[in-house]
Amino acid sequence: MCVLCGEFVMQVHWTDQASDDSSQVIVGDQQRDRQRTRIHRTTLCNEILRFYQLTLEEWNGSKFILRDPKGNQEIVHDLGTLWYTAEKILGYAIDPLDPYLLQKLQNK
């Protein structure tokens, strides 16, 4: 059980599974590689979220914390709910094909 949120961590979300692994990942197996991959995915997400002045932080290997510059924050359970949560904090829909966003990502 997660001490801070009182939730049972029973299975890993599919976004935390290795792309070459067809079997189900069990918490604890290859934890170091899974954590390294989570941190890498967090870094990639932050490249996009920076455009919206949001930051994502990996939290304890099971959740993420999404923050805005005003101090608002939300717990994101997995990357599948990240964009919904970002839109909730922002108050408007995110357009992944926004030409200005794509230009910023290319010029990085």
Mean pLDDT by 10 residues, the chain (108 residues): 50 56 56 84 94 94 92 92 94 92 89
Q: For the CA atoms of the chain, what is the radius of gyration?
A: 15
What pLDDT score does 1 carry?
Answer: 43
d(CA 53, CA 42): 15
Q: pTM higher than 0.75 for the full model?
A: no
What pLDDT score does 66 carry?
Answer: 97
SS3 label, residue 6:
coil
Q: Decide the pairing of beta strands 63-67 and 55-59.
A: antiparallel
Query: Containing H/E element for 64?
Result: strand 63-67
What pLDDT score does 89 carry?
Answer: 96
d(CA 108, CA 58): 23
